[in-house]
Amino acid sequence: MSRARPNILITGTPGTGKTTTSEMVAQELGFTHINVGDWVREKALHSGWNQEFECFNLDEDKVCDALEDPLAEGGNVVDYHGCDFFPERWFDLVIVLQTNNTQLFDRLQKRGYSAKKVSENVECEIMMVVMEEAAESYRSEIVKPLPSDTTDDLERNVATIAGWVRGMMGAAR
Protein backbone atom coordinates (compact mmCIF):
# COMPACT_ATOMS: atom_id res chain seq x y z
CA MET A 1 0.00 0.00 0.00
CA SER A 2 1.51 3.34 -1.07
CA ARG A 3 -0.59 5.40 1.36
CA ALA A 4 -0.22 5.64 5.14
CA ARG A 5 -3.97 5.10 5.47
CA PRO A 6 -6.04 3.06 3.02
CA ASN A 7 -9.02 4.22 0.97
CA ILE A 8 -12.22 2.21 1.18
CA LEU A 9 -14.97 2.19 -1.44
CA ILE A 10 -18.43 1.31 -0.18
CA THR A 11 -20.66 0.51 -3.13
CA GLY A 12 -24.00 -1.19 -3.75
CA THR A 13 -27.43 -0.54 -5.23
CA PRO A 14 -29.17 2.63 -3.91
CA GLY A 15 -30.84 1.82 -0.57
CA THR A 16 -28.45 -0.94 0.50
CA GLY A 17 -27.04 1.26 3.27
CA LYS A 18 -23.88 2.78 1.78
CA THR A 19 -24.24 6.21 3.38
CA THR A 20 -25.28 4.90 6.81
CA THR A 21 -22.43 2.37 6.81
CA SER A 22 -19.86 4.83 5.43
CA GLU A 23 -20.65 7.46 8.08
CA MET A 24 -20.24 4.90 10.86
CA VAL A 25 -17.02 3.43 9.42
CA ALA A 26 -15.53 6.91 8.94
CA GLN A 27 -16.50 7.85 12.51
CA GLU A 28 -15.02 4.62 13.89
CA LEU A 29 -11.69 5.03 12.08
CA GLY A 30 -11.39 8.84 12.02
CA PHE A 31 -11.53 8.70 8.21
CA THR A 32 -13.23 11.17 5.84
CA HIS A 33 -16.59 10.16 4.38
CA ILE A 34 -16.94 11.24 0.76
CA ASN A 35 -20.51 10.93 -0.51
CA VAL A 36 -19.91 11.11 -4.27
CA GLY A 37 -23.59 11.71 -5.06
CA ASP A 38 -23.55 14.80 -2.82
CA TRP A 39 -20.36 16.06 -4.44
CA VAL A 40 -21.90 15.60 -7.90
CA ARG A 41 -24.86 17.78 -6.89
CA GLU A 42 -23.01 20.37 -4.80
CA LYS A 43 -19.98 20.80 -7.05
CA ALA A 44 -21.94 20.31 -10.30
CA LEU A 45 -19.82 17.34 -11.46
CA HIS A 46 -22.49 16.46 -14.01
CA SER A 47 -23.79 17.45 -17.44
CA GLY A 48 -27.43 17.98 -16.49
CA TRP A 49 -30.46 16.05 -15.30
CA ASN A 50 -31.41 12.75 -16.94
CA GLN A 51 -35.18 12.78 -17.28
CA GLU A 52 -35.43 9.09 -18.12
CA PHE A 53 -33.39 7.74 -15.22
CA GLU A 54 -34.26 10.56 -12.76
CA CYS A 55 -30.65 11.26 -11.87
CA PHE A 56 -27.78 13.55 -12.93
CA ASN A 57 -25.67 12.51 -15.92
CA LEU A 58 -22.34 12.03 -14.25
CA ASP A 59 -19.31 13.79 -15.68
CA GLU A 60 -16.85 11.03 -14.84
CA ASP A 61 -13.77 13.14 -15.65
CA LYS A 62 -14.91 15.94 -13.36
CA VAL A 63 -15.69 13.45 -10.59
CA CYS A 64 -12.26 11.84 -10.87
CA ASP A 65 -10.49 15.23 -10.97
CA ALA A 66 -12.32 16.35 -7.81
CA LEU A 67 -11.43 13.12 -5.99
CA GLU A 68 -7.78 12.86 -7.07
CA ASP A 69 -6.18 14.94 -4.28
CA PRO A 70 -8.15 13.61 -1.29
CA LEU A 71 -7.75 10.03 -2.54
CA ALA A 72 -3.98 10.46 -2.97
CA GLU A 73 -3.86 11.35 0.75
CA GLY A 74 -5.64 8.17 1.88
CA GLY A 75 -7.98 7.80 4.86
CA ASN A 76 -11.23 8.08 2.87
CA VAL A 77 -14.48 6.18 2.84
CA VAL A 78 -15.95 6.76 -0.62
CA ASP A 79 -19.68 6.11 -0.97
CA TYR A 80 -21.15 5.59 -4.45
CA HIS A 81 -23.49 3.22 -6.32
CA GLY A 82 -21.07 2.77 -9.21
CA CYS A 83 -17.41 1.82 -9.21
CA ASP A 84 -16.14 1.10 -12.72
CA PHE A 85 -14.88 4.57 -13.66
CA PHE A 86 -12.62 5.17 -10.64
CA PRO A 87 -8.92 4.41 -11.15
CA GLU A 88 -8.29 0.97 -9.68
CA ARG A 89 -5.23 2.25 -7.79
CA TRP A 90 -7.38 4.46 -5.55
CA PHE A 91 -8.86 1.68 -3.43
CA ASP A 92 -7.42 -0.84 -1.02
CA LEU A 93 -10.78 -2.35 -0.09
CA VAL A 94 -14.07 -2.45 -2.00
CA ILE A 95 -17.20 -3.30 -0.01
CA VAL A 96 -20.36 -4.29 -1.90
CA LEU A 97 -23.43 -4.02 0.33
CA GLN A 98 -26.30 -6.38 -0.50
CA THR A 99 -29.93 -6.25 0.62
CA ASN A 100 -32.82 -8.65 0.05
CA ASN A 101 -35.60 -7.57 -2.31
CA THR A 102 -38.42 -6.93 0.15
CA GLN A 103 -36.22 -4.87 2.46
CA LEU A 104 -34.78 -2.87 -0.42
CA PHE A 105 -38.22 -2.28 -1.91
CA ASP A 106 -39.49 -0.85 1.42
CA ARG A 107 -36.45 1.37 1.90
CA LEU A 108 -36.68 2.85 -1.60
CA GLN A 109 -40.42 3.40 -1.33
CA LYS A 110 -39.93 5.20 2.00
CA ARG A 111 -37.37 7.38 0.25
CA GLY A 112 -40.13 8.58 -2.07
CA TYR A 113 -38.70 7.10 -5.27
CA SER A 114 -41.13 6.67 -8.18
CA ALA A 115 -42.52 3.15 -8.74
CA LYS A 116 -40.33 2.90 -11.84
CA LYS A 117 -37.17 3.89 -10.00
CA VAL A 118 -37.96 1.51 -7.13
CA SER A 119 -38.40 -1.45 -9.47
CA GLU A 120 -35.33 -0.55 -11.55
CA ASN A 121 -33.17 -0.52 -8.44
CA VAL A 122 -34.64 -3.73 -7.00
CA GLU A 123 -33.99 -5.39 -10.36
CA CYS A 124 -30.44 -4.05 -10.34
CA GLU A 125 -29.93 -5.68 -6.94
CA ILE A 126 -31.46 -9.00 -8.05
CA MET A 127 -29.20 -9.06 -11.12
CA MET A 128 -26.19 -8.21 -8.93
CA VAL A 129 -25.20 -5.43 -11.31
CA VAL A 130 -22.97 -3.57 -8.85
CA MET A 131 -21.36 -6.78 -7.58
CA GLU A 132 -20.44 -7.72 -11.14
CA GLU A 133 -19.16 -4.23 -11.87
CA ALA A 134 -16.91 -4.41 -8.78
CA ALA A 135 -15.69 -7.89 -9.70
CA GLU A 136 -14.76 -6.67 -13.19
CA SER A 137 -13.05 -3.52 -11.95
CA TYR A 138 -10.98 -4.62 -8.93
CA ARG A 139 -8.80 -7.54 -7.85
CA SER A 140 -10.97 -10.25 -6.34
CA GLU A 141 -8.91 -10.26 -3.09
CA ILE A 142 -10.07 -6.74 -2.20
CA VAL A 143 -13.76 -7.05 -3.20
CA LYS A 144 -15.94 -8.02 -0.24
CA PRO A 145 -19.72 -8.46 -0.45
CA LEU A 146 -21.51 -7.95 2.89
CA PRO A 147 -25.22 -8.45 3.72
CA SER A 148 -27.01 -5.26 4.79
CA ASP A 149 -30.54 -6.40 5.71
CA THR A 150 -30.78 -5.60 9.41
CA THR A 151 -29.33 -3.19 11.95
CA ASP A 152 -27.41 -6.16 13.36
CA ASP A 153 -25.80 -6.53 9.93
CA LEU A 154 -24.99 -2.83 9.97
CA GLU A 155 -23.24 -2.98 13.36
CA ARG A 156 -21.39 -6.14 12.37
CA ASN A 157 -20.31 -4.70 9.01
CA VAL A 158 -18.90 -1.55 10.61
CA ALA A 159 -16.87 -3.66 13.06
CA THR A 160 -15.72 -6.02 10.29
CA ILE A 161 -14.65 -3.23 7.93
CA ALA A 162 -12.88 -1.33 10.71
CA GLY A 163 -11.09 -4.55 11.66
CA TRP A 164 -9.92 -5.14 8.10
CA VAL A 165 -8.67 -1.56 7.80
CA ARG A 166 -6.82 -1.69 11.12
CA GLY A 167 -5.24 -4.94 9.95
CA MET A 168 -4.05 -3.24 6.75
CA MET A 169 -2.59 -0.30 8.67
CA GLY A 170 -0.87 -2.67 11.10
CA ALA A 171 0.61 -4.71 8.26
CA ALA A 172 1.90 -1.56 6.56
CA ARG A 173 3.91 -0.44 9.59
Sequence ranges of the binding site for ATP: 15, 17-20, 111
Closest to ligand ADP by CB, 25 vs 67, is: 25
Yes or no: say if 15 and 107 are a contact pair by the CB < 8 Å rule: yes
17 binds, among ligand ADP, Mn ion, none (CB under 5 to 8 A by kind): ligand ADP
Closest to ligand ADP by CB, 121 vs 169, is: 121
Q: How far apart are CA 171 and CA 125, in angstroms?
A: 34
Read off φ and ψ for residue 107, nearest 5 degrees.
-60, -40
160 binds, among ligand ADP, Mn ion, none (CB under 5 to 8 A by kind): none
SS3 74: coil
Tell the smallest beta-carbon distance from residue 97 to ligand ADP (Å): 7
Closest to ligand ADP by CB, 84 vs 103, is: 103
Q: Which of 103, 125, 115 is nearest to 11 (CA)?
A: 125
Rounded to 5°, the CA angle 41-45-48 comes to 75
**Residue numbers at the binding site for ligand ADP (CB under 6 A):** 12, 14-20, 107, 148, 150-151, 153-154
Tell the smallest beta-carbon distance from residue 23 to ligand ADP (Å): 8
Closest to ligand ADP by CB, 17 vs 75, is: 17
Stretch touching Mn ion by CB under 5 A, among 14-22, 85-93, 96-104, 157-165: 14-22
Burial of 35-46, coded b for 16+ CB within 10 Å and e otherwise, reads: bbbebbeeeebb
Q: How far apart are CA 72 and CA 136, in angstroms?
A: 23
Position among 19, 32, 100, 109 found at the interface with Mn ion (CB under 5 A): 19
Binding site for Mn ion (CB under 5 A): 18-19
